[in-house]
Structure 1
Amino acid sequence: MEHIPLCATVRPWQGWGVLPWFQNDAFPLYLAPMAGVTDVVFRQICKELGADVMVTEFVSAEGIMVADDRTRKYTEFTDEQRPVGVQLFGADGVRMGEAARKVVDWKCPDFIDINFGCPVNKVVSKNGGSSLLRDCPVLESVAAGVAKACEGVVPVTAKIRIGWDQDSVNAVEVCKILEGAGMQAISIHGRTRSQGYGGEANWEVIDACARAVSVPVVGNGDIASGEDLAKRKRETAVSGVMIGRAAMQNPWVFRQAKHFLATGEQLPPVPLEERWDLVVRHCRMAAESSRYGAERHAIMAMRARLMAYCKGFPGAKELRQKLCKVESVAQVEDIAEQSLVAAASSPQNV
C-alpha cells in the first residue's frame, strides 16, 4: 500500500488512536537521530536494511524561522523514507510551533519530534535539548506550544534522556508532563545528560516510564544486536526501540535484529565484499547529494563515517590511516579493492 503522510490525508491528524507505525502490535525499529550522521543518504541506506521509522538530525527552530538555507537542508528526506519526522530544538514554545508549521508546509513530514535530550554544550547553552529536563515548566510550554501549532495537521512526539544527572533522574515525571502536553509518543535515551554516551543505559527507568504513560514509549540505548532487541521487548513495556551508534558501524543491525526477533536465529556475518560495496555506495551517494557540494567536501565529511564502517575489517588500523586522508570516491574504491585482494590472499583464505 502506498504510504500517504498524515498531513496529506483527507482526514487530518486529530489525536485519534495510536500512531500508524505502532498499530496491529507492530514493534517499530527507529533509526536514532544523530547530528552529522543520519543525513538523508544514511537514512536511505538504513531504510533499505530494515529501519522502520526515521527522524532527521535535529534542526534549530530559530534557523527555520529565519529561513536559513543551510538549516533547511537538514529537513530533507525522500518519500521512500516514510514514516519520517523532522526533529526541532529550542526553548520558546510559540516560536517552536511556528517553525514546526513552516516545516510541515515545506515537507509534510509524518510527525514533528522535539529534542529534549541532546547533551552537547552548544545546544544546552541555548537552553535547548537536555537542559530543559531541569526546567519542567519550560519543557511543558515548549511541548504544548508545538502540539497546539500542529493540532489537526501532524502528530508531535518528543525525545528525552532519563535526567540531567544521576541525582535528578526525573524521566517518569517528564513523560507524564509530555503526555499531558499532547505528545503522541516519547523516545527515551536511558542515560543522563552528564553521562553523555558513557556507562550503561538504564532500561529500568525506561521501563518505568513506559508503564507510567499511555502513549507509546520507544527505548534507546545499547541496542546492538537481535538479542539486545529481544531482551528489551521481552523484559520491558516499550512499544519499540531506537538504534543509534550501533548502526553507524553496522547498518545491517536492523535486518539482523528483525530476523532474530522473528526466528530466534542469527543471520550469518555480512561478507567483507558486501560491506565494502555499501561503503563505496554510501560515498557515491554522498558525493551526488546536494548537501555537501563538491565531491571533495562530501568525501572529507565522510571520513569519520568511514572510520566507523571499517571497525572489525581485516587490517583495520592501516585502513583507518588511509581513510582519514581520502578526498575522492576513486580513492575509496581503490582502498576497497586493495582490502579485498589482501583479504582473499591471506593465509586463512588460502
Structure 2
Amino acid sequence: MLHWFQNDAFPLYLAPMAGVTDVVFRQICKELGADVMVTEFVSAEGIMQADDRTRKYTEFTDEQRPVGVQLFGADGERMGEAARKVVDWKRPDFIDINFGCPVNKVVSKNGGSSLLKDCPVLESVASGVAKACEGIVPVTAKIRIGWDEQSVNAVEVCKILEGAGMQAISIHGRTRSQGYGGEANWEVIDACARAVSVPVVGNGDIATGEDVEKRRTETAVSGVMIGRAAMQNPWVFRQAKHYLATGEQMAPVPLEERWKLVIRHCRMAAESRRYGTERHAIMAMRARLMAYCKGFPGAKELRQRLCKVESVAEVEGIAESSLATAAGEPIEARA
C-alpha cells in the first residue's frame, strides 16, 4: 500500500489542474495542509521528444512530497518509456495516469477521458506504465465515472485498472459530458471503492471540512481530492483537518491574511523560471487572482481591476485599497 494511506490515514490530495497546480501553488497548498500533490498533466509524447516546456510541468520540490507526475497518452509502450524518463529525471513518489481529462485537445488525441470508451486501450496503457515502473515507483490512475450518463462504467474500469497494476485510483464523480457542471455522483464513487481492494480517492464538490467528513463516514473512499475549491480557498486543507480533528469550523480567514497570500503567490510566480518575465507571470496569474477574490468586499470591481494587472506592484496597490475600504474585516469563502 502507498505509505500515505497507512495507519488509517485519510489523505487530502490537491487535484491536478492544468494552468493551476504548478510548483508554486502546490507549495502553498502543502504549507496549508494538503497531504499529496499531483502535477499538472504532462504529454507523454512531449516527454519523449525531450521538450523543455513539457519538462517544466514535471518540476516539484522535495518539500512537496509525496508527489506524483501525471501523464496522458494512448500508447502503453510510449507511456511506459515516458514514465521511466520522468522517474530518471525527478524520482517522483508515484506516476499517475490521466484517464479523466475532459478537455477537447486531450480527448481528440485519444487521451484523458476518451479512453473510458475504449477499455482495451485503457488497460494496455495502464499495464504498459505499470510494467515500466515495476519495482521502481508505484503507478496510480485518475478517471471520471464515465463518458456520459448512458455509459457510466467506473466500476468496470476500476476493476480493469486494479488488474493492470494500479495501486490507487482517483475518481471524479462526473461524466466527461458533464464537464464541471451538475453534482458529482458519490454513489458511483462509493461503489467503485467497494469493488476494488486498492485505495480509491474521491473527487468532486469537496469545499469544506464538513464535506470531507461526510465522504469519509458515508463512503468507502480512502481519501479525498480537492480541486476547484482550493483555487479560491487554499486554506480549505487546513480548515478540513481542523474540522476532522475537532468537529468545529475554524474562524474565517481575515481579509488581510488572504491578501498577504495573494501577494506572496504573485511574487513567487514572478520569481519562478516558468513564466519568464514578471509581466508574463502576472498576466498568467490573472485568472487565479480573480478566483482568489471571490467573496471579497467589492469583488466585482476587484475582478475588473485584476484582469488587467501586469506587475506585482499593481496587485499590491489593489490590495492596499481593498484593505483600506474593508477595514480588515474577516470574510467567509464563498463558492
TM-score range, shorter chain: over 0.9
Whether contact under 8 Å (2:96, 2:140) holds in the other structure is: yes
TM superposition shift of 1:313? 0.3
| In 2: Cα distance, 1:199 partner to 1:182 partner | 32
| In 1: Cα distance, 2:325 partner to 2:150 partner | 52
**2:67 aligned to which of 84, 106, 126:** 84
Deviations 1:209-255 (A, max 9, x none): 00000000000000000010000000000000000000000000000
Cα gap change, 1:346 to 1:41, in 2 (>3 Å): closer
**1:323 aligned to which of 287, 301, 306:** 306
| In 2: Cα distance, 1:276 partner to 1:110 partner | 33
| In 2: Cα distance, 1:108 partner to 1:341 partner | 47
Cα gap change, 1:299 to 1:115, in 2 (>3 Å): same
SS across alignment from 1:88: strand
Cα gap change, 1:238 to 1:342, in 2 (>3 Å): same
TM superposition shift of 1:344? 1.3
TM superposition shift of 1:64? 0.1
| In 2: Cα distance, 1:296 partner to 1:267 partner | 36
SS across alignment from 2:184: coil
| In 2: Cα distance, 1:180 partner to 1:169 partner | 19
1:170 aligns with 2:150: no
TM superposition shift of 1:346? 9.2
Partner of 2:209 in structure 1?
Answer: 226
Deviations 1:141-191 (A, max 9, x none): 000000000001000000000000000000000000000000000000000
Partner of 2:117 in structure 1?
Answer: 134
How many residue pairs were aligned? 332
SS across alignment from 1:330: helix
Identity of counterpart residues, as a percentage?
90
| In 2: Cα distance, 1:228 partner to 1:311 partner | 20
TM-score, length-scaled by structure 1:
0.94
| In 2: Cα distance, 1:278 partner to 1:344 partner | 18
Structure 2, unmatched stretches of 5+, are none
| In 2: Cα distance, 1:151 partner to 1:227 partner | 38
Whether contact under 8 Å (2:254, 2:328) holds in the other structure is: no
TM superposition shift of 1:30? 0.1
Whether contact under 8 Å (2:256, 2:328) holds in the other structure is: no
| In 1: Cα distance, 2:248 partner to 2:325 partner | 31
| In 2: Cα distance, 1:126 partner to 1:97 partner | 17
1:39 aligns with 2:25: no
| In 1: Cα distance, 2:213 partner to 2:2 partner | 22
TM superposition shift of 1:345? 8.7
SS across alignment from 2:240: helix
Whether contact under 8 Å (2:254, 2:329) holds in the other structure is: no
| In 1: Cα distance, 2:319 partner to 2:241 partner | 29
| In 2: Cα distance, 1:324 partner to 1:194 partner | 29
**2:237 aligned to which of 245, 249, 254:** 254
Whether contact under 8 Å (2:255, 2:328) holds in the other structure is: no
Structure 1, unmatched stretches of 5+, are 1-17
SS across alignment from 1:30: strand
SS across alignment from 2:69: strand
Cα gap change, 1:145 to 1:334, in 2 (>3 Å): same
Deviations 1:236-278 (A, max 9, x none): 0000000000000000000000100110000000000000000
**1:332 aligned to which of 315, 319, 333:** 315
SS across alignment from 1:187: strand
Deviations 1:92-113 (A, max 9, x none): 0000000000000000000000
TM superposition shift of 1:53? 0.1
TM superposition shift of 1:289? 0.4
| In 2: Cα distance, 1:19 partner to 1:31 partner | 16
SS across alignment from 1:77: coil
| In 1: Cα distance, 2:245 partner to 2:329 partner | 36
| In 1: Cα distance, 2:261 partner to 2:199 partner | 33
| In 1: Cα distance, 2:108 partner to 2:299 partner | 37
Aligned-pair RMSD on alpha carbons?
Answer: 2.2
Whether contact under 8 Å (2:95, 2:139) holds in the other structure is: yes
Deviations 1:114-148 (A, max 9, x none): 00000000000000000000000000000000000
SS across alignment from 2:124: helix
TM superposition shift of 1:37? 0.3
| In 2: Cα distance, 1:85 partner to 1:345 partner | 38
SS across alignment from 1:67: coil
TM-score, length-scaled by structure 2:
0.98
| In 2: Cα distance, 1:92 partner to 1:36 partner | 24
**1:69 aligned to which of 30, 49, 52:** 52
Partner of 2:222 in structure 1?
Answer: 239
| In 1: Cα distance, 2:154 partner to 2:23 partner | 30
Deviations 1:63-83 (A, max 9, x none): 000000000000000000000
TM superposition shift of 1:341? 0.7
Runs of 4+ in 1 over 3 A off after TM superposition: none
Whether contact under 8 Å (2:169, 2:200) holds in the other structure is: yes
SS across alignment from 2:324: helix
| In 2: Cα distance, 1:33 partner to 1:273 partner | 28
